[in-house]
Amino acid sequence: MDQQRSGDKQRETADEGTVLPPCNPDYVRMVKLAAAVAILRTKPPGMTGQQYTQYLQHKYQANQGDWKKRAKLLQSHLLQTRQELLQAKLLQQQPQPAEGDEDKPEQVFPTPPSSSEQPSSPQVSREDVVQRHSRFLSCVLRLQTVRNSLAGRVNLEETVKDSILDSLHLLKVSVEEKVPDVSMATKKHVVKTIVEVLGREELKEFSEEIVRSVMDLVQTILTGVLRCEDLNRHQHQENQCRLIVDLSEAEALQKLILETLLQNIKDFSDTLRTVKTSSLDPVLYENVYYMFWTFEQILYNLNDCRKQSIDETLANELNNTLESSLLFISEKYPLFAHYVWKLGGVLNSIQTLR
C-alpha cells in the first residue's frame, strides 16, 4: 500500500511538472562547448566566431519580436471575430418591430461591422481598432438595454472586458509614443462608452482588472501632461485632462482619480519646499496647473450631478491634504497657494450642499 501511494505521488509530481531534476553542471558545460564548436564550424568566411555569434543573437531577437507581433495580430483578429459573432447573435435575438415601426430598429440597433470594413493586413491603424471596440461596446449597451442583461452570458462578458482592456492599452500606447494616431474624437467616444459599461452590475467580476488598467492610463496621461515642454499647446493639454474628467464620471473611478491628482499636487508641493526658486523647473511649474484644473472640473461635475456625491470622509481627507501642501510655501508661491485655496473652497461648498 505504501509503495502504491509513493508511486501515485511520484506520478502526480511528474504530471504537474512542478519538480524538475537538478541540472548537471558538467552537462551544461558540454552543451555550451558543443554549441561553440558548431558556431565555429558553420561561420561564413571573413567573420570571427564572436561576430557570427552576435549576428545569430541579433537574428534570434528579431525573430522573437516578429513572433510577438504576429501573436498580437492574431489576438486582435480573434477578438474582432468574437465581437462580430456576438453582435450578430444579439441582433438575431432582438424583438421584432411592431407594424408601422419598420424603420425604427435601424435607428436603435447598430448593425455589426462586417469583416470587409477592417483591412486584414498588419497595417491596420490603431484608430480603426479603437473605433471597432467602441462600436462593439455601444452596440452591446443599446441591445442590452432592450433585451436581457449581460448576466449569464460568459462569452459576452469576456469579450466586453477584452474590448475595454485593449482599448485602454491602445490609448495608453498612443499617449506614451506621443503620436496622434488616434483622434481626440475617437478617444472621447471610447472613454464615454467605457464609463457607461463600467456602470453595469454584470461586469463587477472584471471591475478590478478594468479599474487597474484605467488608472494606468490616467497616470500615463498625467505624466505626459506634466512633462510636455511645449507650453503653447493649451488645447492639447486640456483635451488630455478632459479624458480624465470624463473617466471620473464612473463611480468606481471617482475616488481613485481624485486621490491620484491630489498626490501629484502634493508631490509638487514637496518639490517647491526643497528646491530653490532659481532651480525650479518652469515647465513643471506651468503644467502642474493642469492638475488643478482637472481636479476642479471633477469637483464641479460632482456639485452639478445629483446621482454622484463625495462622502464626508473623502472630502475631509482631500481638504487635509490640500492644506498640508501649503506648508511654508504660501507666501513664496502665491499663485499655487491661491489655486489650492480655491479647490478647498469648492470642496467646502460641496459638503455644505450635501
Q: Are residues 197 and 324 in the same domain?
A: no
Query: d(Cα 34, Cα 151) in Å, to the nearest integer?
Result: 58
Higher pLDDT, 306 or 92: 92
Query: d(Cα 106, Cα 192) in Å, to the nearest integer?
Result: 22
Query: d(Cα 140, Cα 197) in Å, to the nearest integer?
Result: 9
Residue 97 falls inside a structural domain: no
Residue 30 falls inside a structural domain: no
**CA distances in angstroms from 268 to 70, 87, 257, 291, listed in the order given:** 42, 47, 17, 10
Q: Are residues 349 and 294 in the same domain?
A: yes
Total domains in the chain come to 2
Residue 330 falls inside a structural domain: yes
pLDDT at 296: 93
Q: Are residues 203 and 252 in the same domain?
A: no
CA angle 162, 166, 172 (to 5 degrees): 150
Question: Could you tell me the pLDDT band of residue 95, with boundaries at 50, 70 and 90?
Answer: low
Q: Are residues 193 and 318 in the same domain?
A: no
pLDDT at 11: 46
pLDDT at 21: 64
pLDDT at 130: 92
Q: Are residues 76 and 156 in the same domain?
A: yes
Residue 224 falls inside a structural domain: no
pLDDT digit string (tens) for 138-147? 888 877 654 5
| Domain containing residue 147 | 72-89+125-207
Q: Are residues 137 and 84 in the same domain?
A: yes
Backbone dihedral region of 314: left (phi > 0), alpha (psi from -120 to 50 degrees) or beta?
A: alpha
Of 182, 207, 232, which one is at a domain's C-terminal end? 207
Query: d(Cα 94, Cα 64) in Å, to the nearest integer?
Result: 45
Q: Are residues 332 and 271 in the same domain?
A: yes
Residue 165 falls inside a structural domain: yes
User: Which of these, 319, 316, 315, 269, lies nearest to 291 by C-alpha position?
Assistant: 269
Q: Are residues 81 and 191 in the same domain?
A: yes
Q: Are residues 85 and 194 in the same domain?
A: yes
Kindly state the average pLDDT of the residues 29-44. 84
Of 207, 223, 256, which one is at a domain's C-terminal end? 207
Residue 102 falls inside a structural domain: no
Residue 217 falls inside a structural domain: no
Q: Are residues 201 and 81 in the same domain?
A: yes
State the chain's mean pLDDT as an integer.
79
Q: Are residues 165 and 85 in the same domain?
A: yes
- Does the structure show a pLDDT above 50 at 106? no
Contact 325, 273 (CB under 8 A): no
DSSP 117-129: GS--STT--HHHH
- Does the structure show a pLDDT above 90 at 124? no
Q: Cα 277 to the chain's mean position, in Å?
A: 36
pLDDT at 150: 55
Q: What is the pTM of this model?
A: 0.71
Count Cβ atoms below 10 Å from residue 109 Cβ, excluding itself.
18
pLDDT at 158: 86
What percentage of the chain exceeds 70 in pLDDT?
Answer: 79
Instruction: Report which residue type is found at 201.
Output: E
Residue 278 falls inside a structural domain: yes
Q: Are residues 262 and 183 in the same domain?
A: no
Of 158, 176, 207, which one is at a domain's C-terminal end? 207
